[in-house]
Amino acid sequence: MVGSACPAWCFGRALRRAVHPRPRLPRRRMTARGTLGGHRKTRIYGRLDCPTALRAIAKGGYVKHRVFFADEAAAVAAGYRPCARCMPDRYREWKSRRRKCEKAIQRGGPRLSCGNT
Ligand SMILES: [Zn+2]
Protein backbone atom coordinates (compact mmCIF):
# COMPACT_ATOMS: atom_id res chain seq x y z
CA MET A 1 0.00 0.00 0.00
CA VAL A 2 1.98 3.00 -1.21
CA GLY A 3 0.68 6.52 -0.80
CA SER A 4 2.86 8.09 -3.42
CA ALA A 5 -0.13 10.06 -4.61
CA CYS A 6 0.07 12.13 -1.45
CA PRO A 7 0.53 15.73 -2.59
CA ALA A 8 3.21 17.87 -1.00
CA TRP A 9 0.72 20.34 0.43
CA CYS A 10 -0.87 17.78 2.73
CA PHE A 11 2.39 16.47 4.05
CA GLY A 12 2.53 18.54 7.22
CA ARG A 13 -0.97 17.53 8.12
CA ALA A 14 -0.09 13.90 7.52
CA LEU A 15 2.78 14.19 9.97
CA ARG A 16 0.68 15.76 12.69
CA ARG A 17 -2.41 13.64 12.43
CA ALA A 18 -1.15 10.56 10.60
CA VAL A 19 -4.46 10.24 8.82
CA HIS A 20 -3.38 10.80 5.24
CA PRO A 21 -3.63 9.08 2.81
CA ARG A 22 -6.01 6.67 4.53
CA PRO A 23 -8.30 8.85 6.62
CA ARG A 24 -10.89 6.13 7.09
CA LEU A 25 -8.75 3.87 9.24
CA PRO A 26 -9.94 3.66 12.84
CA ARG A 27 -8.08 5.97 15.18
CA ARG A 28 -6.85 3.06 17.30
CA ARG A 29 -4.71 1.75 14.48
CA MET A 30 -3.28 5.16 13.79
CA THR A 31 -1.98 5.70 17.30
CA ALA A 32 -0.78 2.24 18.27
CA ARG A 33 1.17 1.36 15.15
CA GLY A 34 0.67 4.38 12.99
CA THR A 35 1.15 4.72 9.31
CA LEU A 36 4.72 4.25 8.25
CA GLY A 37 6.67 6.39 5.87
CA GLY A 38 9.45 5.23 3.62
CA HIS A 39 12.14 6.63 1.36
CA ARG A 40 11.94 5.30 -2.17
CA LYS A 41 15.68 5.63 -2.83
CA THR A 42 17.18 4.39 0.42
CA ARG A 43 14.47 1.79 0.94
CA ILE A 44 14.17 2.57 4.61
CA TYR A 45 10.87 2.82 6.42
CA GLY A 46 10.13 4.48 9.72
CA ARG A 47 7.67 6.43 11.78
CA LEU A 48 6.11 9.56 10.38
CA ASP A 49 7.55 11.55 13.26
CA CYS A 50 11.05 10.14 12.87
CA PRO A 51 13.60 12.84 13.78
CA THR A 52 15.85 11.86 10.90
CA ALA A 53 13.00 12.06 8.41
CA LEU A 54 11.80 15.39 9.81
CA ARG A 55 15.27 16.85 9.46
CA ALA A 56 15.52 15.64 5.90
CA ILE A 57 12.10 17.13 5.17
CA ALA A 58 13.19 20.45 6.67
CA LYS A 59 16.01 20.49 4.16
CA GLY A 60 13.55 19.73 1.41
CA GLY A 61 15.28 16.57 0.31
CA TYR A 62 12.86 13.90 1.31
CA VAL A 63 9.28 14.61 0.38
CA LYS A 64 9.49 13.77 -3.30
CA HIS A 65 10.92 10.33 -2.54
CA ARG A 66 8.42 9.66 0.19
CA VAL A 67 6.12 6.66 0.19
CA PHE A 68 3.61 5.48 2.76
CA PHE A 69 2.87 2.06 4.14
CA ALA A 70 -0.25 0.91 5.91
CA ASP A 71 1.81 -1.30 8.21
CA GLU A 72 5.16 -2.98 8.63
CA ALA A 73 4.16 -6.05 6.66
CA ALA A 74 3.56 -3.87 3.64
CA ALA A 75 6.90 -2.11 4.07
CA VAL A 76 8.84 -5.35 4.45
CA ALA A 77 7.03 -6.91 1.51
CA ALA A 78 8.15 -3.94 -0.58
CA GLY A 79 11.78 -4.66 0.37
CA TYR A 80 12.22 -1.82 2.86
CA ARG A 81 14.20 -2.08 6.07
CA PRO A 82 13.50 -0.41 9.44
CA CYS A 83 15.00 2.97 10.32
CA ALA A 84 17.78 2.68 12.89
CA ARG A 85 16.82 5.95 14.54
CA CYS A 86 13.11 5.67 15.21
CA MET A 87 12.71 1.89 15.18
CA PRO A 88 15.94 0.67 16.85
CA ASP A 89 14.49 -2.63 18.03
CA ARG A 90 13.18 -3.48 14.62
CA TYR A 91 16.44 -2.39 13.09
CA ARG A 92 18.44 -4.72 15.35
CA GLU A 93 16.14 -7.61 14.51
CA TRP A 94 16.51 -6.87 10.83
CA LYS A 95 20.31 -6.66 11.10
CA SER A 96 20.78 -9.94 12.94
CA ARG A 97 18.38 -11.63 10.56
CA ARG A 98 20.31 -10.34 7.60
CA ARG A 99 23.64 -11.40 9.11
CA LYS A 100 22.36 -14.94 9.59
CA CYS A 101 21.07 -14.96 6.08
CA GLU A 102 24.36 -13.75 4.61
CA LYS A 103 26.35 -16.31 6.56
CA ALA A 104 24.10 -19.11 5.41
CA ILE A 105 24.51 -18.01 1.82
CA GLN A 106 28.29 -17.75 2.16
CA ARG A 107 28.43 -21.28 3.51
CA GLY A 108 26.33 -22.42 0.62
CA GLY A 109 23.76 -23.69 3.07
CA PRO A 110 20.02 -23.44 2.79
CA ARG A 111 18.78 -19.98 1.86
CA LEU A 112 17.01 -18.64 4.85
CA SER A 113 14.05 -16.42 4.44
CA CYS A 114 15.51 -13.17 5.66
CA GLY A 115 13.12 -10.69 4.14
CA ASN A 116 15.93 -9.02 2.22
CA THR A 117 15.79 -10.89 -1.01
ZN1 LIG B 1 13.41 6.89 11.41
Kindly give the distance from the C-alpha atom of residue 108 to the centroid of ligand 1, in angstroms, as a whole number.
34
Using the mean position of ligand 1's atoms as its centre, give its distance from the Cα of residue 63 in Å. 14
Question: Ligand 1 centroid vs 13 CA: distance in angstroms?
Answer: 18
CA 110 / ligand 1 centre spacing (Å): 32
Is the Cα torsion angle 93, 94, 99, 102 positive or negative in sign?
Answer: positive
User: Which domain, by its residues, includes 52?
Assistant: 8-83
| Per-residue model confidence as pLDDT tens digits over 45-74 | 999 999 999 998 899 878 888 899 988 999
- Cβ-contact 57, 39 below 8 angstroms: no
The verdict on residue 90 lying in a domain is: no
CA dihedral 56, 94, 102, 67 (to 10 degrees): -40
Could you tell me if residue 72 is inside a domain? Answer: yes
Flag whether 30 is in a domain: yes
Q: Model-level pTM? A: 0.61
Query: pLDDT per residue over 88-114, tens digit each?
Result: 999 999 999 889 888 887 887 665 555
Separation of alpha carbons 103 and 21, rounded Å:
39
How many structural domains compose the chain?
1
In 3D, which of 55, 52, 53, 46 has the Cα closest to residue 35? Answer: 46
